[in-house]
């Protein structure tokens, strides 16, 4: 009996010691992981295409950097530099590619001159909404293609926000016929600009800070930007009172893009934190745009006239879009691959969207 009691006591004691050792190992592992993150502090330089603390887009990036710092326990610091501090607004792509800076925040379609396929990842005229675009990117193969094509420029992209549906733009004169578009100088980027070009417009690419001055001085005759919240702040109504509903950017994608070599040197923990913070920013930005656009619509100046483009123009725009997509596909294998993936998702998504969201909105009225 004494021998059995001794053996039982020894086994229980050994088990207790083993469990205690396991708990200590887990605690040490967790503490070690935290300590590793804290002792190996990383600082990244991120440049944007927006002015300092620019509402929604700029402040979204500010909050992204703050979240990365919080989630990492202070081991990951992302310093945000507004446009023209480190590099000009539309040179952030090249600067990150060349490792002059670590990352940037901007709009994907600005870089269609690098590769026309990038326009598709930024959003399609008369195409997918923000929710649908993100679904294609995450589950329909868009992300894989985007990252493969950006890798050729030593870049690693993440979705860094989305605007929701944008307005069609501010015009100095009313658009009633296709003839009214001929020779019009308009600030409009991406595939929307290519479509307008086929309709007789001269598309111009301008960063945010130059748009109002160009519109006021007559350098351009019209401009699109985003929606009522940001457009009102820019003061476009003073120079162009006709405000048209949108078609060319139903769900534009913004990006947080890193130098690929720099990204691959980051710890798995820091990569995961950045990815999580970028997804949080994307969801927050979409909701903030919706809320603030809804409020700003009620507060537009009295001289603003909200208009819808004439049917003849939109019918022509649909034809022109088809021509643009055909032309770009013939010129670029990458564009054709991205478009094929995009259209494959559309073919799956549209029947469901028709009987769900579209049908509900028609019922709701």
Over pLDDT 70: what percentage of the chain?
A: 89
Beta bridge partners of 266: none
Which H or E run includes 264?
helix 260-265
Dist CA 115 CA 133 (whole Å): 19
Dist CA 285 CA 279 (whole Å): 10
Which pLDDT belongs to residue 192? 96
SS3 category, 229: helix
Which pLDDT belongs to residue 208? 82
Whether 37-163+251-292 and 169-248+303-329 share one fold: the answer is yes
Over pLDDT 90: what percentage of the chain?
A: 87
Nearest to 169 by CA among 113, 225, 105, 117: 225
Nearest to 211 by CA among 51, 340, 63, 348: 51
Question: Cβ-count burial of 207 within 10 angstroms (0-12 exposed, 13-18 middle, 19+ buried)?
Answer: middle
Dist CA 125 CA 321 (whole Å): 8
Whether pLDDT at 1 is above 50: no
Which pLDDT belongs to residue 40? 86
Torsion of CA 139, 44, 287, 268, to 10 degrees: 40
Which pLDDT belongs to residue 56? 97
> Which ranges constitute the DSSP H helices of 72-110?
92-97
* 10-24, 201-215, 347-361: the lowest-pLDDT one: 10-24
Strands (E), the chain: 42-48, 76-81, 103-107, 155-162, 169-171, 185-187, 202-204, 222-223, 242-244, 253-259, 305-307
Which pLDDT belongs to residue 4? 43
Q: Where are the domains of the chain?
A: 37-163+251-292, 169-248+303-329
What are 83's two structure tokens?
């446009």
Q: How confident is the model at residue 101 (pLDDT cuts 50, 70, 90)?
A: very high
Backbone angles phi, psi at 83, to 5 degrees: -55, 145
The CATH number assigned to the domain with range 169-248+303-329 reads: 3.40.190.10
Whether pLDDT at 98 is above 50: yes
Average pLDDT of span 23-41: 52
Which pLDDT belongs to residue 81? 98
Write the DSSP string, 117-142.
THHHHH--TT---HHHHHHHHHHSSH
**pLDDT tens figures, 157-174:** 999 999 999 999 999 999
Average pLDDT of span 214-235: 96
Dihedral-angle region of residue 53 (phi above 0 means left; psi in -120 to 50 means alpha; beta otherwise): left
Average pLDDT of span 73-93: 97
Which pLDDT belongs to residue 163? 97
Q: How confident is the model at residue 209 (pLDDT cuts 50, 70, 90)?
A: confident
Whether pLDDT at 36 is above 70: no
**pLDDT tens figures, 298-351:** 999 999 999 999 999 999 999 999 999 999 999 999 999 999 999 999 999 999
Dist CA 10 CA 349 (whole Å): 65
DSSP class of residue 241 equals: -
Q: How confident is the model at residue 38 (pLDDT cuts 50, 70, 90)?
A: low
SS3 category, 34: helix
Superfamily the domain 37-163+251-292 falls into:
Bacterial extracellular solute-binding protein, family 7 (3.40.190.170)
Which pLDDT belongs to residue 39? 52
**pLDDT tens figures, 15-25:** 444 444 445 54
């Amino acid at each position: 009996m004494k021998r059995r009691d001794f053996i039982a006591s020894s086994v229980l004691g050994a088990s207790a010691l083993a469990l205690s050792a396991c708990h200590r190992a887990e605690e040490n592992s967790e503490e070690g992981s935290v300590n590793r993150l804290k002792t190996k502090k990383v600082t990244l330089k991120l440049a944007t295409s927006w002015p300092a603390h620019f509402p929604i887009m700029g402040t979204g990036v500010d909050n992204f950097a703050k979240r990365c710092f919080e989630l990492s326990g202070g081991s990951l610091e992302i310093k945000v530099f507004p446009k023209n501090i480190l590099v000009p607004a539309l040179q952030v792509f090249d600067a990150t590619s060349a490792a002059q800076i670590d990352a940037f925040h901007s709009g994907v379609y600005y870089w269609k001159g690098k590769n026309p396929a990038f326009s598709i990842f930024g959003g399609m005229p008369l195409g997918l909404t923000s929710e649908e675009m993100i679904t294609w990117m995450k589950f329909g193969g868009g992300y894989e293609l985007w990252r493969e094509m950006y890798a050729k420029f030593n870049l690693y992209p993440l979705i860094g926000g989305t605007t929701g549906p944008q307005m069609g733009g501010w015009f100095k004169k009313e658009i009633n016929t296709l003839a009214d578009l001929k020779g019009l100088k308009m600030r409009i980027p991406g595939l929307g600009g290519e479509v307008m070009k086929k309709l007789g417009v001269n598309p111009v690419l301008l960063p945010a800070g130059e748009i109002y001055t160009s519109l006021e001085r007559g350098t351009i005759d019209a401009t699109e930007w985003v929606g009522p919240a940001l457009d009102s702040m820019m003061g476009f109504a003073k120079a162009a009172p006709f405000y048209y509903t949108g078609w060319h950017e139903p769900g534009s994608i913004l990006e947080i893009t890193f130098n690929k070599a720099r990204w691959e040197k980051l710890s798995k923990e820091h990569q995961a934190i950045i990815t999580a913070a970028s997804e949080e920013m994307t969801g927050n930005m979409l909701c903030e745009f919706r809320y603030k656009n809804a409020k700003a619509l009620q507060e537009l100046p009295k001289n603003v006239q909200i208009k819808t483009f004439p049917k003849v123009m939109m019918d022509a725009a649909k034809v022109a879009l088809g021509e643009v997509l055909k032309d770009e596909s013939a010129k670029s294998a990458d564009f054709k691959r991205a478009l094929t993936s995009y259209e494959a998702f559309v073919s799956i998504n549209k029947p469901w969207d028709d009987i769900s969201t579209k049908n509900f909105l028609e019922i709701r009225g």
